[in-house]
Structure 1
Amino acid sequence: MATIRDLSAKLPPTLLRSTSWADGLRGIAAIFVVASHTSLCFATFLIPPSVVETGKSTLFQRPFFRLVIQGQAWVAMFFVLLGFVNSLKPLQLARSGAVSEALGSLSTGAFRRTGRLLARRVDVFWLRSTAPKPSVSLVAAVEDLVRELAGTWLYGENAYDQPQWALLPLFRGSLYVFMTLLALINATPRFRLCAETLLYSWSWATLDGGVGTNIFAGMMLAELSLNNCQFSASLKPRALFQTVPYGLVVLGFYLCSFPDQYAEQTAWSSQLAHIGDAIFPKGSNISRYFASIGAQIVCLGAMLSPTLRRIFSSRVLLWLGSISFPLYLIHGPLMRSVLVYLLYWPMSLGFMPALLADGTPNPESYIPTPNTFRLRVILSLFFAFLLFIVRLWSIHIEPKMGAATNYLERVSRSWGNIRDFLGKGHGLLPISIFKQASA
């Protein structure tokens, strides 16, 4: 029997669209998420679109430049790309007539994807607000850790690492892709596209603008990228239409620039706020909806332009894309431990908190941030260290996680027939994992 890889190799060239641009765009998104958290630490004045005292905007408070602090826009990009990449291969196989292989690819893909004490005393908003309180004892610390790990997957909160809130929505988004394609894999492309449009509209109306609309938009992009009309080719004859993708990317990033707070302070953000009040559902988070629509438009523009796809497929961006997930997971804990100690530990040695009128220490007296020169030097060193650790993680940790996933996949396929499973020489779980990781 032909394997899924063999069938993919036989697909018509027009159906084999490279997804490398999506990997590159994901790498950009990961870097900007880290940049946004860094800005929330040391440049909180960038949160509003202008300086309150003067009413004027600095460079990085203006549209496009303020993307450095718009973390939710880049998280929205992750969801769009998740819907796009996870659905593309099953759709390719289904369009070639290999429906059973498409279902196999779908099920496999769904299975596989599915220093804090000091940090609370420093004059850094994001680190202070996302660092948990110390546990009262070692036993309590273990209980707190287990509770927060469970909380990541039960209600999307983790006091030990706030960015992990996205893991539960990412899991939910993967299920959206799986269930939708499972129901529609035998349908025609046109019917699937109509169904995905209805699901997008349903997500929009039910205030699921952060996950549902992005996932279904990504699925629609995957469907359109395989369309026989070949959008990119049809735009080539007319120079006017060649500029459309670039205009979409500019528009998308402009919408992504919409501030999460204080939109009324500037004309451009106030104008977008009025538009959002008119078109978004009542009770929706306007900034999250703008971030989602902007991310969707950026991905659409990139998909339509061969030049943009080549730009986003550069070697540096592809490398960043390959480490994007561990970068997202690891940067928070390292910022609250390594970065905090590098910046504040020497200053904490002689730090004396201010006293209240009754002589007790002021709980809001924080260790001050170092001068600008030292801050820049240490941040540069820290980011180099962060990329190094993330690279080590991708080399040494991820293969073991992949081996564990493969083991669980084999168990799921041989459950109830364990004798045959063990007879194939797979061995016990720890041995299997480390054998595959070293292979």
Structure 2
Amino acid sequence: MSPRKDGILDSQEWCDIKPSWSEKSKWLAEGVDWKPTTLTRSRRPSRLNLARLKSFFWPVGDAKQPDTLRPTAYLDGLRGFAAFLVYWHHNELWAHEPHVQNRIFENAFGYENKYYFVAFPGVRHFFTGGHFAVSTFFVISGYVLSAKPLGLIQSGDHGKLAENLGSALFRRWIRLYLPLMAITFIYLSFLHLFDIWVDNIDRASTWREDVWLWYCELKNFSFVFTTGGSPFFSWNPHLWSIPVEMKGSIIVYTALLAFSRCTRNARLWCEAGLSFYFMYVADGWYGAMFVMGMTLCDLDLLAKKNDLPDIFNKLEPAKTFIFYHLFFISMYLGGVPSYTGDVMKMRDNRGWYYLSFLKPQAVFDYKWFYLFWAAALLVASIPRIFWLRSFFETRFCQYLGRISFALYLVHGPVLGTLGDRLYTIAGYYKDSEKQNLAHLVGKFPLPKIGPLGLEPAFLLPHLVILPFTLWLAELVTRSIDEPSVRFSQWLYRKTLNTSTTPTKF
């Protein structure tokens, strides 16, 4: 089957999307039998070279919309749109930090008698929805990682289940960390090569010294059982979620194996109990998100077989009513005030006083409790709300879904280099910029009128930042992300007994 038609559930992992980038695969699939009739020189190679050159400088043009969408294409779109919200979230906070406006962005509407459109419930996700987006990543990952294994569990094929889980676990670390290593190493070298100052990054005096420090930090950052210390990677703090992704993946694979021989009802109860444990007993909020994604996938697969527990069938007549309400609850909870981690400060936010008492004792950073429910309800409700599902199946969202992992990897370095300088030129700068980028400070000041978060001084720099970020994300998808997927698959195949043929997943 053509990779261009693969949906998110047809890949073993949530970002194993391998689209075709040229028409070459098309004529190969057609099996055209051709040969040159003469030895005269053709102009086709030069045209091909021009096409390749164009493809390098603007690879977005090569992206093709699949002929047909898979039933779970909305998950690709949701993941892509969430990655875009992370990009926008970080840009909003970076630009407005000098004016001490982040407390407006990350607190509720009306906090300290400040009423800004940017903080209004529901609207706030389009400005500072990054934490909500990351929580949605984790629920989607739990869903996708468990899709194939759950199908095998429900069909009773435990032999293929073992093979599937073994392959997935072998490839997962490579698939997550190889792109991270490449991007951060290139970024480190780029800063040294051109002697570029970046706020919040303390460079060593030499490249070799920084490479050694990078290695020492990376080996601990990529160790799944590391405890204590900072959760952030110095060369790209936004990648803190990658180790969490790895931990959540192991939780999912382990739970799938543990529950593989349970009856339907016992398996569902075990999944619910594990989510409860991670959220209400231990401070393992990310584990609860991954397991909830697995549970939603289990229920969806059972629904396709008309094998849901009776209670769900009784609720069928009110399905539309229920899921619309779950969606609106998700939108509200996803806007949890998160300027500080102090739950007492949360209670000062209008509309959150009574909700603050729902926080379990086990959860240290309260926002993840509310985001767990918000992300779970969002992923559950989208496929049952037609217009919402249709939005995430649009070409725009599907494109973002294809480059989402690379977008997540590169938006931080672009923001710290190009973005910071453009914001400084436009009039957004701190003391550190005045000291290190004095030649750019206020070089072309733009007006800061209009709604907070939509000022011309903030929006106009994105005429450069956004296209460049998307271009770089596309380039990284093709040159680093997809090759890392193929490499992990190749390496796994090389370790197998040549006398047996592995099942393709």
TM-score range, shorter-chain basis? 0.7 to 0.9
Q: Which moved more, 1:135-144 or 1:383-392?
A: 135-144
User: CA separation in 2, counterparts of 1:211 and 1:266?
Assistant: 25
* Contact 1:189–1:223 (8 Å) recurs in 2: no
Matched, 1:72 2:131: yes
Paired position in structure 2 for 1:99: 158
Segments of 5+ residues of structure 1 without an aligned counterpart are 10-16, 121-127, 355-360, 425-439
* Contact 2:149–2:165 (8 Å) recurs in 1: yes
* Contact 2:109–2:116 (8 Å) recurs in 1: yes
* Contact 2:87–2:411 (8 Å) recurs in 1: yes
Matched, 1:405 2:488: yes
- 1:53-64 residue pairs with structure 2 within 5 A? 55-64=113-122
Paired position in structure 2 for 1:285: 365
1:80 counterpart SS class: helix
User: CA separation in 2, counterparts of 1:341 and 1:386?
Assistant: 15
* Fraction of identical pairs, as percent: 23
Displacement after TM superposition at 1:258 (Å): 0.8
Q: Which moved more, 1:325-334 or 1:304-313?
A: 304-313
Given the alignment, which residue of 200, 221, 224 partners 2:275?
A: 200
- 1:244-263 residue pairs with structure 2 within 5 A? 244-261=322-339, 262-263=345-346
* Contact 1:214–1:296 (8 Å) recurs in 2: yes
Given the alignment, which residue of 223, 233, 240 partners 1:165?
A: 240
Given the alignment, which residue of 209, 222, 246 partners 2:297?
A: 222
* Contact 2:110–2:350 (8 Å) recurs in 1: no
Displacement after TM superposition at 1:224 (Å): 0.7
1:388 counterpart letter in structure 2: W
User: CA separation in 1, counterparts of 2:494 and 2:326?
Assistant: 46
TM-score (ref. length: structure 2): 0.67
* Contact 2:336–2:371 (8 Å) recurs in 1: yes
1:302 counterpart letter in structure 2: I
Displacement after TM superposition at 1:307 (Å): 5.2
Displacement after TM superposition at 1:209 (Å): 4.5
Paired position in structure 1 for 2:86: 33
Displacement after TM superposition at 1:342 (Å): 3.7
* Contact 1:252–1:294 (8 Å) recurs in 2: yes
1:35 counterpart letter in structure 2: W
CA deviation profile, 1:326-356 (whole Å, cap 9, x unmatched): 11111111111222234447999xx9998xx
Paired position in structure 2 for 1:140: 209
Matched, 1:316 2:316: no
User: CA separation in 1, counterparts of 2:277 and 2:314?
Assistant: 31
- 1:289-308 residue pairs with structure 2 within 5 A? 289-305=369-385, 308=388
TM-score (ref. length: structure 1): 0.77
* Contact 2:139–2:289 (8 Å) recurs in 1: yes
Given the alignment, which residue of 336, 341, 355 partners 1:272?
A: 355
| Paired residues, number | 382
Q: Is the alpha carbon distance of 1:346 and 1:66 closer, same or farther for their aligned partners in structure 2, counting shifts above 3 Å?
A: closer
Q: Is the alpha carbon distance of 1:180 and 1:236 closer, same or farther for their aligned partners in structure 2, counting shifts above 3 Å?
A: closer
Moved over 6 A (4+): 115-118, 345-348, 351-354
* Contact 1:36–1:70 (8 Å) recurs in 2: yes
Over aligned residue pairs, what C-alpha RMSD do you find?
3.6
User: CA separation in 2, counterparts of 1:32 and 1:375?
Assistant: 16
User: CA separation in 2, counterparts of 1:379 and 1:159?
Assistant: 25
Matched, 1:378 2:461: yes
* Contact 1:50–1:61 (8 Å) recurs in 2: yes
Displacement after TM superposition at 1:256 (Å): 0.8
Q: Is the alpha carbon distance of 1:18 and 1:100 closer, same or farther for their aligned partners in structure 2, counting shifts above 3 Å?
A: farther
